[in-house]
Amino acid sequence: MKVDYIIVGLGLAGLAFTKELKRNNKSFVVFEDNSQNSSSVAGGMYNPIILKRFTPVWNAIDQLGIAIPFYKELERDFGNKYDYSVDIYRVFKSVEEQNNWFIACDKPLLTPYMVPQIVHESITGVIAEFGCGKLVNTGRIDTKTLLEDYRNYLSEKELIKKESFKYDYLIINDNEVEYNGIVANKIVFCEGFGLMKNPFFNYLPMQEAKGELITIHAPNLNIDFLIKAAVFVLPLGNNLYKVGATFNWKDKTKEPTSAGKLELVHKLNTFISVPYTIVDHTAGIRPTVKDRRPLIGKHPIHQNLAVLNGLGTRGVMIAPTSAKSLYNHLESNMKLDSEISIDRFPKN
């Protein structure tokens, strides 16, 4: 079997890169053992503003300019809806935060998203003594449904092998790689935190941040926007809300924990005053990097091995842009932005 690319991993990074390959009529096969699930348990929000400090997310406007059409195209491809417009209400903790909000509203990059007034109206079930700031032109990608649809499509086309990738079986030649009878021009690793076990790229400073979320049923809450305070509360429909997320840098397991649930409940109860029932509890490991930039590029020695990883908490925004950058780098030798290139972390 001869293909242009072997792809290892099918979270948002792998999906975005294979979509770029399809757009350019490149052949590929994907290896996916479903061992990494950070994309499918993510909140999936896209928002160009850091809600803690009211500052712009790195490169956010360019990312959204590519990401929104990307997900609209996938909706057309599969006849399903993944992109939901969702406003965000940021609960203020003080007068100082109110003042910081107004200062940020005047910044040109943020003006299209930040409403320059304080929402003082009472929101049933929400404790907001100092009111809220409202963000518009934001939304949520249903990553779970999108990934399920995409994996089913690849299965129907026999483009996916649902098995673990064995690094020892990879044969690297000057102009191609070979794996279990499959010959490819290049191989791209999109494994999430599984990169830690990859002998070719495990020198990169990947950090594993476990995140837990709960889903609650709250019939009296009745909001159609995301509330952000100590945690976020994201409406899913039918009185269901996703609540998250925790950050745990020590626990490397993917299993939900009672400690994680207690932390979420404690934080939720600081600003939600209506009764609710927990109906689901999930966990995943986020692949993050200390400088909060993705890991993109070719292996320093083996130029037909590449990596697309480290998308962090804003994967829905950054995945399409990162995939396009890597494709252009591999196929047209276009230089990668120094902020995302793995060359910023030399191999010792």
51's tokens? 């809600």
* DSSP H or E segment with residue 8: strand 2-8
Q: Is 106 exposed, middle or buried (0-12, 13-18, 19+ CB in 10 A)?
A: exposed
Residue carrying structure tokens 């927990």: 278
184's tokens? 């490819």
Q: Are 225 and 342 in contact (CB under 8 A)?
A: no
Flag whether pLDDT at 40 surpasses 60: no
Q: Which residues contact 216 (CB under 8 A, 6 or more apart)?
A: 240, 241, 243, 268, 276, 277, 278, 279
Q: Are 310 and 206 in contact (CB under 8 A)?
A: yes
* 39-48, 148-157, 191-200, 292-301: the lowest-pLDDT one: 39-48
Residue carrying structure tokens 């099918």: 10
Which tens digit of pLDDT belongs to each residue from 226-282? 999 999 999 999 999 999 989 888 887 888 999 999 999 999 999 999 999 999 999
Reference 134, options 223, 59, 61; nearest CA is: 223
Reference 311, options 137, 154, 195, 148; nearest CA is: 195
In this predicted structure, what is the pLDDT of residue 280?
95
Reference 46, options 77, 23, 69; nearest CA is: 69
Flag whether pLDDT at 35 surpasses 80: no
Distance (Å, rounded) from C-alpha 117 to C-alpha 131?
10
- The Cα diameter of the chain in Å comes to 66
Distance (Å, rounded) from C-alpha 227 to C-alpha 205?
33
Q: Is the dihedral of CA 99, 58, 114, 126 positive or negative?
A: negative
In this predicted structure, what is the pLDDT of residue 102?
96
In this predicted structure, what is the pLDDT of residue 273?
96
Query: How many other C-beta atoms lie within 10 A of the C-beta of residue 181?
Result: 7
222's tokens? 């009745």
Distance (Å, rounded) from C-alpha 308 to C-alpha 336?
12
Distance (Å, rounded) from C-alpha 80 to C-alpha 133?
32
Which tens digit of pLDDT belongs to each residue from 298-318? 999 999 999 999 887 789 999
Q: Is 299 left (phi over 0), alpha (psi -120 to 50) or beta?
A: beta
In this predicted structure, what is the pLDDT of residue 38?
61
Phi, psi of 167 (to 5 degrees): -60, -35
307's tokens? 């990596």
**Residue 85: half-sphere exposure toward Cβ, Cα within 13 Å:** 4
In this predicted structure, what is the pLDDT of residue 39?
56
In this predicted structure, what is the pLDDT of residue 209?
82
pTM: 0.91
Flag whether pLDDT at 171 surpasses 90: yes
Distance (Å, rounded) from C-alpha 86 to C-alpha 136?
8
Q: Cite the DSSP H helix spans in 235-314.
A: 258-268
